[in-house]
Amino acid sequence: MTTIHVGGASPYDVHIGRDFADLLPGILGEQVQRVAFVYAGSLGALAEPLLDRLVDRYEVLALGLPDGEAAKTAAVANDCWEALGEKGFTRSDAVVTFGGGATTDLGGFVAASWLRGVRVVHVPTTLLAMVDAAVGGKTGINTGAGKNLVGAFHEPAGVLCDLALLGSLPREELVAGLGEVVKCGFIADPRILELVETTDPETLTAESPVLEELVERAIRVKAEVVVADLKEAGGADGHPGREVLNYGHTLAHAIEKHESYAIRHGEAVAIGCVYAAELARLAGRLDDATAARHRTAFERVGLPTTYASTSSGQAVTFDDLVGAMRVDKKARGSQLRFLVLDGLAKPSILAGPSEELLREAFRAVSA
Ligand code: GLY
C-alpha cells in the first residue's frame, strides 16, 4: 500500500492499494456512531463487502444514488438531507462515499452542507474518480445552467483507492480514466508519459503494477497542486495554480455539452489537451515534438485525439463549440483563456487568443 499525504489546513491521506476496509474506522474516528453510506446504486453487489463491514460497527444509513450525472441534482441532495434528518445525524457522524466521480461529488456535497460540514471518506470505484474527483475537496451538484455550478470545497478525512475495484470497471471506463492520468504527465510529471509510451496498453489492468504507479503519480500531481492552491485562487511564481488541472478542459467541456454528456469525460479531455497543445504550438509557445507527443500518448492508450463528428454521426464545426467555450469558468468577460504549455510540464495561461488561431487549432483536431 502507498499512502500520499495531502497537506494544508485540513490534511488527510490517500491510500492506494488493495482491500483496506480495516483502515476505515481509524479514519472515521472514535466519535462516529452513524455512517451514511452514499453509493452508486448500480454497484450494489460490489458495495456489499464494505457495507457489511460498516454495519458490524455503525448504525448505517445506505443511500443508493442514480447512475452518473443523474445523481448530481438538488433533488437527490435533498433526499439525502431528509434521510439524514430522519436518522438524527449529528456533527460527529460521517459520510462514506462509494462510486465514481458523480458519487463523490454528490456525497461530498451532502457532507459539506449537512450541519455545515461532517466528515467524509471517499472510496472511489473508477480510475477517473481515484485520480481526480476523490482528491482535492471539490464537491457539488449541477443546475439547469450547467455542471458543478453549486458546491463547496470540503476536504475528505481520507481517501481509499482500492485498485481491486478497477477489476470490474468496463475497459472503456478504465481507458477514459487514463485521459486524466496522461494529462498529469503533460502538466507536471513526464515520467507518466514514459511509462505509457513503454507499456503495452493492453496490460494496463487492475492487477498491473504499472497502472498502480500511474495512479500514484497522478494522485501526487493532484495532491501537490491542491495543497498549493486549494481554492483555485492562483499559484505562486507565475504558476497557474489549481487551474493546471483543467488542462484540455475548455474544449473538453464544450464537447461534452455538445454531446449532451454522452461522451466520456476522459475522452473529451484527450481531444481537449491535443487542441490546447496545438493552440500553444501555433502561438509559438510549444515545440512541435511536444505537441505531436500529445497525439501519440493519448492515442496509445486508446483515447480519441480528433473530433470531426458527434457520436451520433453529425459533422461538428468550430462554431458549434465556441459558444460553450466562452462560458468556461476560466473565461473572463468576453476573453477566452486557455491553460497551455510553454514546454513539457511548463503550464501557463494563454489569454485572449485570436479567433483565427482558435479556428486553425480546431482544424488540426477535426482533420
Ligand atoms: N477536477 C479539477 C480540480 O479538481 O480542480
Q: Tell me, what CATH number does 159's domain have? A: 3.40.50.1970
Asked whether residue 157 falls in the same domain as residue 198, the answer is no
What separation in Å is there between the alpha carbon of 134 and the centre of ligand 1? Answer: 10
Contacts of 209 (CB under 8 A, 6+ apart): none
Cα 137 to Cα 133, 147, 159, 295, distances in angstroms:
8, 16, 11, 31
**Which numbered atom of ligand 1 lies nearest the CA of 136?**
4
Mean predicted confidence (pLDDT) in 233-251: 94
Mean predicted confidence (pLDDT) in 61-89: 97
Confidence grade of residue 134 (pLDDT, cut at 50, 70, 90): very high
Which one of 143, 167, 191 terminates a domain?
167
Mean predicted confidence (pLDDT) in 65-84: 97
Which one of 167, 188, 222 terminates a domain?
167
Ligand 1 lined by 138 (C-beta under 6 Å): yes
Asked whether residue 93 falls in the same domain as residue 187, the answer is no
What separation in Å is there between the alpha carbon of 213 and the centre of ligand 1? Answer: 20
3-class state of residue 146 by DSSP: strand
Asked whether residue 203 falls in the same domain as residue 319, the answer is yes
pLDDT of 141 higher than 90: yes
Asked whether residue 82 falls in the same domain as residue 219, the answer is no
How many structural domains is the chain composed of? Answer: 2
pLDDT value for 332: 65
Contacts of 81 (CB under 8 A, 6+ apart): 110, 113, 114
Q: What is the pTM of this model?
A: 0.96
What separation in Å is there between the alpha carbon of 226 and the centre of ligand 1? Answer: 8
Asked whether residue 38 falls in the same domain as residue 131, the answer is yes
Ligand 1 lined by 132 (C-beta under 6 Å): yes
Asked whether residue 195 falls in the same domain as residue 333, the answer is yes
pLDDT of 335 higher than 90: no
pLDDT value for 327: 76
pLDDT of 256 higher than 80: yes
The dihedrals phi and psi of 305, each to the nearest 5 degrees, come to -125, 5
For the chain, give the mean pLDDT: 95
pLDDT value for 20: 83
pLDDT value for 36: 98
Ligand 1 lined by 265 (C-beta under 6 Å): no
Ligand 1 lined by 249 (C-beta under 6 Å): no
**Percent of the chain scoring above 70 in pLDDT:** 98
- For residue 211 the three cell numbers come to 497502472
For the segment 295-317, what is each residue's pLDDT rounded down to a tens digit?
999 999 999 999 999 999 999 99
Asked whether residue 234 falls in the same domain as residue 94, the answer is no
pLDDT of 71 higher than 70: yes
Identify the domain containing residue 93 by its residue range: 2-167
Mean predicted confidence (pLDDT) in 217-238: 94
Which one of 119, 135, 167 terminates a domain?
167
Asked whether residue 285 falls in the same domain as residue 153, the answer is no
What separation in Å is there between the alpha carbon of 29 and the centre of ligand 1? Answer: 27
Q: Which residues are catalytic?
A: 116, 138, 180, 222, 232, 242, 246, 249, 253, 265
